[in-house]
């Protein structure tokens, strides 16, 4: 019996073959016959596999068995529909492709989200439970504790919900991550959960091949293949600004879009109702900041800080589409950027000495005990040189809220805290079940309870309770 992943891989191969036969003007009958036979064999294998899963579920979960049986019926029906189209029509690209796309999308979603299985307990001869047990013992040796999160996968013992909202757009920007089809699988997951939401992939020319573009079209993902700027800016800040702005402009012209989520091609939110949480947060926390329509939601934790003015991670932003458009409207040019790139020794020394080493006490409770002069001195040291995150937030604040450049006479930390109180929402990465498929972060799960005093949702909620003068 095949595993769920093997079924997915096999249909991916069949889908590739379908693309090969439909994109040519004169379909080879033999090639068409081969594809039809593959689909027929696949239907038999899927029937065996899903029937086996239903039997494994036992008698205690009648709802689960009923839903799985429905999945099997829908899957076989969709596969038969694919075979019928290929058998009775001379398929060419641009003709009958809507009906074909609907069926391919249906099969793809059923395989990923309509089939469930017991969560994996072993990898070969290794018990996952024993691995986490060893980690817990290691941390226990330091009188500490180890936070263990349940493995959350598409194949776990649950079904994904579907939410029918149409006033939000997702703009995913950046280079297309081909490893394990990461970007494509993320987009398909978002489309399944939010069938009416506008989803835009804003990337660069040459990133997406013809086959992948066809698959994106099946899931009604708007593909924008932008020309890459010659000047990429410090740490590629101009690439982020360009792809994000173009994506937002496209979203403004589609449907009823009022809100937009800007996210990245190398990140995935595993929380199913992430858009519902974000939109509800915007509605529940009213904006008191002149110059903004509504609050902007930022990602908190290790990459956002209480004591470094306007240090808010640029991974993710959510808000009214006009506010988000303004947030990414900067030119990408600044004399206050660190010279060089991220490997520059001065950049590393600056980040380490002025921010990361402060993480042990980087909270507004710690800095509140400092006198006014010490607060201002620290804040000006930390913001003396900008990185892309501080640049975007600071430029937005200066352009649309303050209406001028911040000067030496300004108490920049007080301005930052006032913005957090009146115009921002901070949400933690673990609340969204964010996964970052990059560097060592793919093996690291940040927990807001042990985030070294960074600007977390907990810290932000405490900002809301302070008086306007912030005890300066």
| Tens of pLDDT, residues 300-324 | 876 788 888 999 998 999 999 999 9
Tokens describing residue 422: 């009146």
Q: Report whether 461 contacts 408 (CB < 8 A).
A: no
Q: Which of 454, 410, 444, 447 is nearest to 431 (CA)?
A: 447
- As a whole number of angstroms, the distance between CA 172 and CA 184 comes to 11
- Average pLDDT of the chain, as a whole number: 85
- As a whole number of angstroms, the distance between CA 171 and CA 267 comes to 12
- As a whole number of angstroms, the distance between CA 425 and CA 281 comes to 8
Cα–Cα distance list, 261 to 19, 197, 414, 428 (Å): 31, 11, 28, 15
pLDDT of residue 196: 97
| pLDDT(373) > 90 | no
In the chain, % of residues over pLDDT 70: 81
User: Would you mind telling me the total number of residues written for the chain in this entry?
Assistant: 472
Residue 191 or residue 118, greater confidence: 191
Residue 28 or residue 398, greater confidence: 398
pLDDT of residue 15: 96
Look at residue 198 and give its three-state secondary structure.
strand
**Domain spanning 168-287+315-327, CATH class:** alpha beta
If you search the block for the tokens 């900067």, which residue do you land on? 330
pLDDT of residue 375: 79
- As a whole number of angstroms, the distance between CA 325 and CA 275 comes to 18
Q: What is the pLDDT of residues 156-206, one digit of tens each?
A: 567 899 999 999 999 999 999 999 999 999 999 999 999 999 999 999 999
- As a whole number of angstroms, the distance between CA 173 and CA 323 comes to 18
> Of the ranges 23-27, 161-165, 344-348, which one carries the lowest mean pLDDT score?
344-348
- As a whole number of angstroms, the distance between CA 39 and CA 20 comes to 15
State the average pLDDT over residues 2-28: 86
Tokens describing residue 151: 């493995």
Q: Using CA of residue 390, residue 226, residue 170, residue 287, what is the dihedral sign? A: positive
End-to-end CA distance of the chain: 68
State the average pLDDT over residues 268-273: 94
Q: Which of 404, 420, 413 is nearest to 288 (CA)?
A: 420
Q: Report whether 303 contacts 434 (CB < 8 A).
A: no
Cα–Cα distance list, 472 to 308, 383, 468 (Å): 17, 19, 10
Q: Which of 1, 50, 284 is nearest to 297 (CA)?
A: 284
- As a whole number of angstroms, the distance between CA 147 and CA 136 comes to 8
String of DSSP letters for 323-335: HHHHHT---S--T
Q: Report whether 37 contacts 76 (CB < 8 A).
A: no
If you search the block for the tokens 């620290």, which residue do you land on? 378
- As a whole number of angstroms, the distance between CA 276 and CA 264 comes to 19
> Of the ranges 189-193, 297-301, 411-415, 436-440, which one carries the lowest mean pLDDT score?
436-440
- As a whole number of angstroms, the distance between CA 321 and CA 305 comes to 25
State the average pLDDT over residues 392-402: 97
The torsion defined by the Cα of 7, 10, 14 and 16, in degrees rounded to 10, comes to 120
- As a whole number of angstroms, the distance between CA 426 and CA 362 comes to 16
Beta strand pairing call for 168-173 and 259-264: parallel
In the chain, % of residues over pLDDT 90: 53
> Of the ranges 2-11, 135-144, 177-186, 376-385, which one carries the lowest mean pLDDT score?
135-144
Q: Report whether 387 contacts 310 (CB < 8 A).
A: no
pLDDT tier, 52 (very low <50, low <70, confident <90, very high otherwise):
confident
pLDDT of residue 152: 47
- As a whole number of angstroms, the distance between CA 312 and CA 307 comes to 11
| pLDDT(356) > 70 | no
Q: Which of 271, 460, 448, 444 is nearest to 363 (CA)?
A: 460
pLDDT tier, 90 (very low <50, low <70, confident <90, very high otherwise):
low
Residue 335 or residue 328, greater confidence: 328
| pLDDT(470) > 80 | no
Q: Report whether 173 contacts 247 (CB < 8 A).
A: yes
Burial 338-371 (b: 16+ CB within 10 A, else e): beeeeeeeebeebeeebbeebeeebbbeebeeee
Tokens describing residue 381: 């040291």
Beta strand pairing call for 168-173 and 198-204: parallel
């Amino acid at each position: 019996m095949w595993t769920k992943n093997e079924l997915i891989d096999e249909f991916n191969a069949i889908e590739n073959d379908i693309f090969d036969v439909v994109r040519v003007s004169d379909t080879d009958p033999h090639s068409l016959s081969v594809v039809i036979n593959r689909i027929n064999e696949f239907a038999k294998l899927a029937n065996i596999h899903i029937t086996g899963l239903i039997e494994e579920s036992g008698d205690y979960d009648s709802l689960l068995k009923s839903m799985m049986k429905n999945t099997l019926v829908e899957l076989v029906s969709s596969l038969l529909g694919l075979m019928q189209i290929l058998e009775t029509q001379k398929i060419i690209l641009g003709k009958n492709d809507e009906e074909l796309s609907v069926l391919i999308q249906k099969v793809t979603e059923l395989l990923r989200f309509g089939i469930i299985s017991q969560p994996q307990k072993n990898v070969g001869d290794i018990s996952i439970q024993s691995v986490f047990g060893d980690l817990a013992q290691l941390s226990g040796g330091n009188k500490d504790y180890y936070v263990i999160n349940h493995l959350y996968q598409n194949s776990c013992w649950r079904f994904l919900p579907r939410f029918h909202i149409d006033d939000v757009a997702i703009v995913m920007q950046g280079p297309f991550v081909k490893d394990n089809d990461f970007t494509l699988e993320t987009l398909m997951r978002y489309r399944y959960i939010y069938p009416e939401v506008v989803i835009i992939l804003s990337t660069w020319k040459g990133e997406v091949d013809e086959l992948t573009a066809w698959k994106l079209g099946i899931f009604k993902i708007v593909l924008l293949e932008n020309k890459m700027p010659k000047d990429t800016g410090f740490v590629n800040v101009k690439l982020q600004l360009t792809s994000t702005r173009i994506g937002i402009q496209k979203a403004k012209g589609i449907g009823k879009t009022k809100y937009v989520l800007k996210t990245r091609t190398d990140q995935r939110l595993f929380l199913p109702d992430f858009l519902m949480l974000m939109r509800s947060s915007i509605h529940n926390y009213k904006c008191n900041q002149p110059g903004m329509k509504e609050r902007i939601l930022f990602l908190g934790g290790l990459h956002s800080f209480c004591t470094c003015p306007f240090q808010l991670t640029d991974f993710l932003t959510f808000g009214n589409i006009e506010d988000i458009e303004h947030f990414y409207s900067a030119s990408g040019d600044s004399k206050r950027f660190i010279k060089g790139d991220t490997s520059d020794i001065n950049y590393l020394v600056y980040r380490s000495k002025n921010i990361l080493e402060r993480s042990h006490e980087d909270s507004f409770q710690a800095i509140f005990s400092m006198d006014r002069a010490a607060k201002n001195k620290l804040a000006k040291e930390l913001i003396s040189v900008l990185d892309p995150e501080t640049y975007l937030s600071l430029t937005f604040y200066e352009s649309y809220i303050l209406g001028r450049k911040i000067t030496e006479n300004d108490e920049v930390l007080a301005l930052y805290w006032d913005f957090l109180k009146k115009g921002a929402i901070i949400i933690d990465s673990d609340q969204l079940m964010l996964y970052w498929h990059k560097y060592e972060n793919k093996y690291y799960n940040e927990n807001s309870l042990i985030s070294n005093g960074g600007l977390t949702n907990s810290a932000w909620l405490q900002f809301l309770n302070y008086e306007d003068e912030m005890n300066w």
